[in-house]
Amino acid sequence: MSTAPVLGVAASRGPVTLVLDALSSLWTSIFLLVLVVVYCAVGSAIPPVRQYFEMSEAAYFRHWFFGLLVLLLCVAAIVATARRVRFNLLNGGVIIVHTGLVLLAGGAFQYFGRKVEGSVLLEAPKVKVLSKARLNTAGMPGAEVGSLVAAEGKNWESNMPMAGGTYKIDVTRVRHDGMTTAAEVELNVAWGSPPQTKSLTLSQDQPSARFADLNEHIMLALRGATTTSEFHDSETMALFVTARGKTSSFPLHGLPTYSERFMAAGSDVYYKGGGMVRSDRTAPIPLLDNFRLPIPVADGAEDASGWTFRIEVDGYLPYAELDFELVPGGSDFNPAVVADLVIDGATRPIALFGTRPSLSIDGDPNRATVEFRWLEDSKPQPEWSETIRGGHVLIVEVKDPPVRKMLDVRPGQQYEIEGTDYRLSVDSIFPTWPLMTPGFEGARSPVMQVGVQGGGKRYQRTVIERYPQLSQDIDEQGTRHREGPYDPNLVLTYKNCTIHNFLIAAGPELSPLLIHTAPGGARNVTPLAAEQALDAGSGVSLRFKNLIEKPDDAVRPAVIPPMHRQRQLGRQTSMVRVHVTTRDNSVDRRMWLPFSSDSGPNARPGGSVLIPDFGVVDFVYSPLVRQLPGNITLEQMVVEFNPGRRPPPRDWISYVRMHPSSGGEVTAGRVYLNNTLNFGEWTLFQSSAAQDHESFTVLGVGNRLGIFPMTLGCVLITVGLLYAFYLSPYLKQRLKRKYAAEARGEEWAKGASAYNA
pLDDT in tens, 580-592: 999 888 889 999 9
pLDDT at 1 over 50: no
Summarised one tens digit per residue, pLDDT across range 44-54 is 889 889 889 99
Max CA separation in the chain (angstroms): 153
Q: Is 100 exposed, middle or buried (0-12, 13-18, 19+ CB in 10 A)?
A: buried
Nearest C-alpha neighbor of 63 from the set 39, 47, 97, 35 = 39
The answer on pLDDT for 395 being more than 90 is: yes
562 & 659 share domain:
no
pLDDT, averaged across the chain: 87
Would you put residue 19 in left (φ > 0), alpha (ψ -120 to 50) or beta? alpha
Q: What pLDDT score does 621 carry?
A: 93
pLDDT score, position 4? 46
Q: Is the pLDDT of residue 138 over 60?
A: no
105 in a domain, yes or no?
no
**249-262 pLDDT, tens per residue?**
999 999 999 999 99
Dihedral class, residue 99 (left if φ above 0, else alpha if ψ from -120 to 50, else beta):
alpha
Task: Supply the pLDDT for residue 756.
Answer: 63
Distance CA 282, CA 264 (A): 9
**Please, which pLDDT band fits residue 323 given cuts at 50, 70 and 90?**
confident
Per-residue pLDDT band at 755 (split at 50, 70, 90): low
Query: Is residue 59 one of the residues assigned to a domain?
Result: no
Rounded to 5 degrees, what are φ and ψ at 275?
105, 130
In this structure, the answer to whether residues 364 and 349 fall within a common structural domain is yes
Asked whether residue 305 falls in the same domain as residue 434, the answer is: no
Identify residue 618 by its one-letter amino acid code.
D
Same domain, 403 and 431: yes
pLDDT top residue among 319 and 383 = 319
Count the neighbouring beta carbons within 10 Å of the beta carbon of residue 364: 16
Kindly tell me if the per-residue pLDDT of 19 is higher than 80: no
Q: So what's the pLDDT on residue 748?
A: 67
Q: For residue 195, what pLDDT band results from cuts at 50, 70 and 90?
A: confident
Decide which of 655, 686, 702 is a domain's last residue.
Answer: 702
- pTM for this one? 0.69
**Residue 86, pLDDT above cutoff 90:** no
- CA 511 to CA 508: how far, in whole Å? 8
User: Does residue 74 fall inside a structural domain?
Assistant: no
Please tell me the total count of domains within the chain.
Answer: 4
Asked if residue 106 is part of any domain, the answer here is no
How confident is residue 136, by pLDDT bands cut at 50, 70 and 90?
A: low
pLDDT score recorded for residue 9 = 46
Whether residues 659 and 633 share a domain: the answer is yes
Residues 616 and 632 in one domain: no
Contact 582, 309 (CB under 8 A): yes
Confidence check: pLDDT of 193 > 80: no
Q: Residue 751 — very low, low, confident or very high, per pLDDT cuts 50/70/90?
A: low
First-to-final CA distance of the chain = 48
Check residue 6 and give its pLDDT: 44
The residue range of the domain holding 686 is 626-702
Neighbours of 642 (CB within 10 A): 11
Torsion of CA 468, 519, 357, 462, to 10 degrees: -30
Instruction: Tell whether 534 and 638 lie within a shared domain.
Output: no
pLDDT above 90 for 171: yes
Q: Is the pLDDT of residue 374 over 50?
A: yes
Identify the pLDDT of residue 2.
Answer: 43
Whether residue 52 lies inside any domain: the answer is no
Q: How far apart are CA 565 and CA 573, in angstroms?
A: 9
611 and 673 both lie in a single domain? no
Distance, CA of 323 to CA of 744 (rounded, Å): 95
Please say which residue of 547, 582, 617 terminates a domain: 547
Residues 290 and 367 in one domain: no
> Measured in whole angstroms, how far is the alpha carbon of residue 493 from the centre of its chain?
42
Residue 727: inside a domain, yes or no? no
What mean pLDDT comes out for the span 274-288? 90
Query: What's the rounded Cα separation, in Å, for the pair 495 and 388?
Result: 9
Q: 741 lies in a domain?
A: no
Domain boundary at 593, 625, 657, which?
625
The answer, yes or no, to whether residue 3 has pLDDT greater than 60, is no
Q: Give the C-alpha separation, 67 to 76, whole Å.
A: 14
pLDDT for the residue numbered 660: 93
For residue range 23-51, what is the model confidence (pLDDT) as tens digits?
A: 778 888 889 889 988 998 998 889 889 88
371 lies in the same domain as 311: no
In a domain, 750, yes or no: no
For residue 631, is pLDDT > 90? yes
pLDDT at 370 over 90: yes
Both 529 and 443 in one domain: the answer is yes
- Of 53-57, 243-247, 376-380, 539-543, minimum mean pLDDT range: 376-380
228-242, 368-382, 432-446, 455-469: which range is least confident on average?
Answer: 432-446
Q: How far apart are CA 65 and CA 333, in angstroms?
A: 62
**What percentage of the chain reaches a pLDDT higher than 90?**
39
Specify whether 213 is located in the same domain as 313.
Answer: no
Q: How confident is the model at residue 12 (pLDDT cuts 50, 70, 90)?
A: low
pLDDT of residue 542: 93
> Span 521-545, mean pLDDT?
90
On the question of pLDDT at 663 being above 50, the answer is: yes
Angular region, 14: left φ>0, alpha ψ -120 to 50, beta rest? beta
3-state secondary structure of 726: helix
